[in-house]
Amino acid sequence: MTTAQTRRALGTYGENVAVAHLSARGLVLLDRNWRCDEGEIDLVLRDGDALVVCEVKTRTSLSAGTPHEAITDAKLDRLKRLGERWARARGVCPPEIRIDLVAVLRPRKGAAIVDHVPGLY
């Protein structure tokens, strides 16, 4: 497996873990890996009336920093714009668009460690 394939597989694993985690908490998955010319949204969900744009960051170790450190102000601004574009493309006007992070740490042994951080923006 190439490095790019390994990264994609890790990302898919993290998204699957995130979907299971969020669904168990009552969020409803609406879309996955939605793309446009400005970027990609990992997961789009509904939490009550709120539209949730969820960034999933998956790591096998913290040697390169935590998943939380990868979320910059510029990334948050782009995710907010992408959420607005997703809503327009679907013809919906949610009262709130929220940006969440799901950080997934996949250790060598044992279950994944999941940290859901709602409302980054």
Residue 54 vs residue 1, higher pLDDT: 54
Q: Which pLDDT score, from 0 to 100, does residue 13 have?
A: 95
- CATH number, residue 109: 3.40.1350.10
Tell me the C-alpha distance between 66 and 78, whole Å.
20
Read off the pLDDT of residues 18-51 as tens digits, 9 standing for 90 and up: 999 999 999 999 999 999 999 999 999 999 999 9
Is residue 117 over pLDDT 90?
yes
Q: How many domains are there within the chain? A: 1
Q: Are 96 and 75 in contact (CB under 8 A)?
A: no
Residue 83, pLDDT score: 98
pLDDT of 1 higher than 80: no
Distance CA 36, CA 107 (A): 33
Q: Which domain holds residue 76?
A: 3-117
Per-residue pLDDT reduced to its tens digit, 48-90: 999 999 999 999 988 888 888 989 999 999 999 999 999 999 9
